[in-house]
Amino acid sequence: MSETAGYMRFFPYDQPYENQREAMDRIHNALTRGQNVLFEGACGTGKTLSSLVPALEVAREQDKTVVITTNVHQQMRQFVAEARAITREERIRAVVFKGKSSMCHIDVGYEECQALRDNTRAVVDTERDKRQLERRQRELLAESQDGDGGAADARSAVMDELESLEERLDDLEEQNVCEHYRNNLTEDTDDFFGWLFEDVRTPDEIYEYADSQQLCGYELLKEGLEGVDLVVCNYHHLLDSTIRQQFFRWLGRDPEDVIVVFDEAHNVEDAAREHATRTCSERTFDSALDELAEADDSRAENAGNVLSAFHRALVETYEASFGFGDREAIGENWTDISIANDDRRDDLTLEFLQRYSGRGIDDDLEAAMELGQELDEQYEEAYREGETATRTECQTLQAAAFVSAWLDEGTAEGLYPVVAVTRDAGTDEVYGRAELYSCLPRQVTGRLFEEVSSTVLMSATLQPFDVTESVLGLEEPVTMAYGLQFPADRRRTYAVETPPLFASDRDDPDVQETVTETIHDAVRMTPGNTLAFFPNYGEAGRYADRLERRSEKTVYLDEPGESVERLRQRFVADDGAVLCTSLWGTLAEGVSFDGDDATTVLVVGVPYPHLDDRAEAVQEAYDAAFEGTETGWRYAVEIPTIRKTRQALGRVIRSPEDVGVRALLDRRYSRTAKSDLGRYSVNSTFPHEEREELIDINPEKLKFAMLNFYGDHDAYNGESPRP
């Protein structure tokens, strides 16, 4: 690549890093050819600009739009900063787009908003027609006063039409309207769009500016999307197929004219699975049956037959699963109940078929769908006419659509039927839901990758690429990986051979003592703050308690329900503290600990996720889809777990000046464990270059190694701790 490469006009700084230079060149070539890219880059490799700069150039060359998407709030702020820097060098029209719920000034749901928009537009259009007719009748009046007999007749017809319009307007003005949206339609919005494209505006800035002008910023944003160079948005705008179609319409683009950049792309798998999963609560069935009981329609009885049978089957299925004390143990979080069978349909379906007694399930479901659609239209009309203060959702339509999907798709590849229960905190009532859990994310992402021009999936933890390619349904992507570009002598990464923290060994007093002493040694030898990640919040709490009893340093514990940002601020303001948290919490990725915020990071144990029936279903689906007996475990459990570990390790060493230690406390991480731990060893799951940095070390020697390392870098400021 030469300095005069066309895409360098979008690079906002003096010089790119060497690997960044190479990455931009390769990504530009791939996007020009319409290929997908898997791009792994450690902190300091400049992933955002490496992807965004060539994407903007290809979009400019080929008349396309770039969409960069993330599910991490902090990353969205970084994209705004990078886009602002770019537009200082080369003018681009960029929009940061968020969902309606976070942009609405009057806090209404989607259906209500749609009805309000239609009503408001009808009022504005009628007022415009009235003004035009009034102007025309004045012209005809003047002509008739000049002796034009035909003008008098025409004016009479116009007056009749005006009277009709005024009656319609009186009716419309009694309906629900949105004053913010009305101002969008009636006021001059040129100033808003001038302000919007002067710079790259955040959603909060747009909300405040629009509110100050009594405008609807969300609707104006939708209008402003067409023809922009860059849009920053959340995952769901692309992973939800219905939203995606609307989103592309707002862009004024066909899918093949969109280049997509996925940030933190290791999260796409879970996000796609979530968007493909369907659920329906017992509460929805209750409301649907109440709705049908009030409906004066012959189809209500048939619809009630099928929905009440499914409702009763749902209740009976979870009630039958309860043993002694199980109902009392149900909490406010959803708890799964296994209903799948290897040789026949699931327990809920079998119970439903046994309980149903009607003229035919398909006919009754068709009646429920037809009646539900009509009821939904009636609710829409009632809201438009101002007869109701809120737009009622049709529960019959939702319940019938779910039961239809359950019966038609319940045995489809990659879908796993589940029943779950929870307890209502207000009423103390236990109730359930049915769920079709999607095991294969490629059923969502594969279609997206086929539709759009090309994609870049970037993350610090995408390897192994063949697994990402298979799981997400990518066809022969271009792959590239760049490790830490910072000086290697300013960091150490240890595989500490503490006892393997298998679940069965975690309560062993000797194991706990060894692990506690090793953590204590690491914290004592750290000149600054230490981050400690554990397999779950329970283990984090256990070792936080043990550390508090023997450590002189402040121990912070990340607990569910506590504000993560407030905890982070308290921790980084300290000097020489330790923060204990779960590797599956929000502090393990997307949160930076720069400079002196944290110096050492510890990952204690191999943090496998809870292996419930859903996890087993995903493994089985992967085994079947990719034809391998160990594929499911590797793809669905081991690799995502090590990605989480690698993400946690990346919380420190955030710049070339940083000095730090990263330690994995569990013998399963060590190179020497492969010979006797077999499949339980995870050393080989790390990328080659990261395995090469891992130094196996005995627990009792860790404190000396850290003392020497930090001492060599004068990190103790002349006050070295005693080993």
pLDDT digits (tens, 9 = 90+) for 588-599: 877 778 888 999
Strand order across the beta sheet in which 491-496 lies = 555-557, 578-582, 530-534, 600-604, 660-665, 491-496, 694-697
Residue 572 has pLDDT above 60, yes or no: yes
CATH architecture of 18-105+190-271+446-480: 3-Layer(aba) Sandwich (3.40)
45 or 213, greater pLDDT: 213
Q: Residue 511: which pLDDT band, with cuts at 50, 70 and 90?
A: very high
Q: Residue 158 corresponds to which tokens in the numbers above?
A: 């116009």
Q: What percentage of the chain exceeds 70 in pLDDT?
A: 98
Q: What is the tens place of the pLDDT at every residue in 145-181? A: 777 777 777 878 878 787 777 777 777 667 778 888 8
Q: What is the tens place of the pLDDT at every residue in 364-421? A: 999 999 999 999 999 888 877 777 767 888 999 999 999 999 999 888 888 999 999 9
Q: What is the pLDDT of residue 369?
A: 96
Q: Residue 3: which pLDDT band, with cuts at 50, 70 and 90?
A: very low
Across residues 56-66, what is the average pLDDT?
96
Q: Residue 339 corresponds to which tokens in the numbers above?
A: 């209903």
What's the rounded Cα separation, in Å, for the pair 185 and 122?
A: 11
Task: Give the least confident one: 102-111, 184-193, 440-449.
Answer: 102-111
Which residue in this structure is represented by tokens 């039927």? 417
Q: What is the tens place of the pLDDT at every residue in 320-369? A: 999 999 999 999 999 999 999 988 999 999 999 999 998 899 999 999 99
Q: What is the pLDDT of residue 182?
A: 87
Q: What is the pLDDT of residue 107?
A: 75
Q: Residue 22: which pLDDT band, with cuts at 50, 70 and 90?
A: very high
Question: What is the torsional sign of CA 103, 108, 111, 112?
Answer: negative
Pairing of strands 660-665, 94-96: unpaired
Strand order across the beta sheet in which 258-262 lies = 94-96, 230-234, 65-70, 258-262, 454-459, 37-41, 478-482
Q: What is the pLDDT of residue 629?
A: 62
Q: Residue 628: which pLDDT band, with cuts at 50, 70 and 90?
A: low
Q: What is the pLDDT of residue 4?
A: 52
Residue 677 has pLDDT above 90, yes or no: no
Q: What is the tens place of the pLDDT at every residue in 4-19? A: 578 999 999 988 887 8
Residue 1 has pLDDT above 60, yes or no: no
CATH 1.10.275.40 fits 278-440, yes or no: yes
- List all residues 6 or more positions away from 51 whose beta carbon is below 8 Å from its beta carbon: 23, 27, 37, 39, 68, 261, 456, 458
Instruction: Count the neighbouring beta carbons within 10 Å of the beta carbon of residue 700.
Output: 12
Q: Residue 492 corresponds to which tokens in the numbers above?
A: 């150490």
What's the rounded Cα separation, in Å, for the pair 398 and 382?
A: 19
Q: Residue 416 corresponds to which tokens in the numbers above?
A: 């796993």
Q: What is the pLDDT of residue 131?
A: 83
Q: What mean pLDDT, rounded, does the chain reach?
A: 90
Kindly write down the DSSP assignment for every residue of 628-640, as one continuous string. Answer: -TTHHHIIIIIHH
Task: Give the least confident one: 141-155, 179-193, 264-278, 489-503.
Answer: 141-155
CATH no. of 488-713? 3.40.50.300
Residue 705 has pLDDT above 50, yes or no: yes
Q: Is it true that the peptide bond before 464 is cis, omega within 30 degrees of 0?
A: yes
